[in-house]
Amino acid sequence: MLSPWLGIGLVLAALAAIFGGLRVLQAQYDLDSEMTRKGVHVLMGGVTLTFPWLFEAVWPVAVLGGMAGAALMAVRFVPVLLENVGTVLHGVKRSSYGELYYVVAVVLLFILSEGDPILYGVPILLLGLADPVAALIGLRYGTSFYQTSEGFKTGEGSAGFFLVAFFCVHIPLLLATDTGRLESLLIATIAGVLLMLLEAIAWRGLDNLFVPIGGYALLSTHMAMDASDLAVRLVVIATLFAMATIWHRETTLDHSATFAAALVGVVTWMIGGWQWILAPAALYFGYTLLWPSSARVDADTSGPPTLHTVHNVLGVASVGMGWLFLSAADLSVSLFYPYTLAYAAYLGLIGVERLRSFPYAVSTTRILIDATLKSSGMLLGPLLIVEGLDLRAVLLGGGLVICVMLTALLYLQWPHDFEEARSPFRVQVHRALLVTTGSSLGLPVLQMSYVFF
């Protein structure tokens, strides 16, 4: 193996040649900015793919990452660089930090995979090939548009992403590992579908981080599974995606937010099992059933309804997913109860928000009672299915009602801290803190249920 410093020098020379060469071609042939940006994507993928054979230790890759990150920041912010070599990356008029996420993804992958050629190389192939193919197909042949938080993407581009991702996973697993033919087909299909959804929901270049890290996570957890387990997993993924898509028209979500909701369900099932899907499913299907007249209130007043984005879905799922991860980290303790309370509290907040948006006055007391009773009732079913119907359930159900009522009451006391008119990020943080506080009240109630019952 080469000296680490020689390897670093070769990589830096290759990267300089990529940027310099593309800049010359751009100036000489008036290449489209999206073409040069995706050219960097592909060529950098080819260079970074060699890292397991160039470097044995992590530090050279970390050094390269730091140097590349600094150079890319300079290209972004130094005017003379931005006007010259920077046009290769920043000629596209959209806000994106994809090149920086690219560098972070490469370093993280090398650390996580410990230089394993498959666990590192396959995600790099996904990073270098699948996303550029999706973008170029979408630009040239896209006619089936779907809405995202930043505009539109195309079904043709997503289909192209799936196809390239499938072969990026299937061929290396089949030729370079002991994975069976059927298993490699199933793993490649699962990875293609889930990574396609990750790419569809990403914003501001985050697909350069989501796709490779997601690819590593899928490979590291699925390669040891047998064909029957993989087939069940694929069926569940397809079912959850189909259900979310079919119900999409009844929701106030844009298309990428619907994909995010499906992904939340898939990740929840993979980590916790079917019982843990019940609470987010109750919220997803329940909020328009509980308040159907308010779900489309904008349609009756000032035009089409306000669509919620992937940020809203991730915000609503954030607290529940936190309880799920904590429960999975400590298998001796189930945190299903505060997890359910988190989704119940969020459903209550949605109810409060929708009732407050009515074009006619609704009293605060009515809002509080309506949101509390309907939200508690919707989540009580999942709670009883898992915890059972006995005296202990009475205490847990009472705690559920109190949690929803308190979070709804606090929202009504300080509504301006939770309304969409303020910074969307601050709104999501404030809501998450409120729901975290409310659902944490479930911990002493859970402890009391063990003591007395």
Q: What is the pLDDT of residues 313-365, one digit of tens each?
A: 999 999 999 999 999 987 777 899 999 999 999 999 999 988 887 767 778 89
Instruction: Report the pLDDT value the prediction gives residue 274, as an integer from 0 to 100.
Output: 93
Contact (CB, 8 A) for 205 and 146: no
Task: Return the half-sphere exposure (C-beta side, CA atoms, 13 A cut-off) of residue 187.
Answer: 28
Cα 394 to its chain centre, rounded Å, is 36
Residues with Cβ within 8 Å of 282's Cβ and at least 6 positions away in sequence, in order, are 343, 347, 378, 379, 381, 382
Contact (CB, 8 A) for 75 and 89: yes
Instruction: Report the pLDDT value the prediction gives residue 338, as an integer from 0 to 100.
Output: 95
CA-based diameter of the chain, in Å? Answer: 79
Paired sense of beta strands 145-148 and 151-154, if any? antiparallel
Q: Which residue has the higher pLDDT, 86 or 126?
A: 126
Q: Where are the domains of the chain?
A: 6-135+196-224, 250-294+306-452
CA distances to 192, 207, 325 from 163, rounded to whole Å, are 7, 17, 31
Range 185-199 average pLDDT: 95
Q: What is the pLDDT of residues 393-435, one digit of tens each?
A: 899 999 999 999 999 999 998 887 777 656 778 888 999 999 9
Contact (CB, 8 A) for 166 and 192: yes
CA-closest candidate to residue 192, choices 156, 237, 161: 161
Q: 21: helix, coil or strand?
A: helix
Instruction: Report the pLDDT value the prediction gives residue 422, as an integer from 0 to 100.
Output: 62
Q: What is the pLDDT of residues 152-189, one digit of tens each?
A: 889 999 999 999 999 999 999 999 999 999 999 999 99
Q: How confident is the model at residue 293 (pLDDT cuts 50, 70, 90)?
A: low
CA distances to 136, 275, 282, 378, 395 from 389, rounded to whole Å, are 55, 15, 19, 16, 11
380/398 Cα distance (integer angstroms): 10
Q: How confident is the model at residue 297 (pLDDT cuts 50, 70, 90)?
A: very low
The token pair at 138 is: 């979408």
Residue type at position 412 = L
Instruction: Report the pLDDT value the prediction gives residue 300, as an integer from 0 to 100.
Output: 43
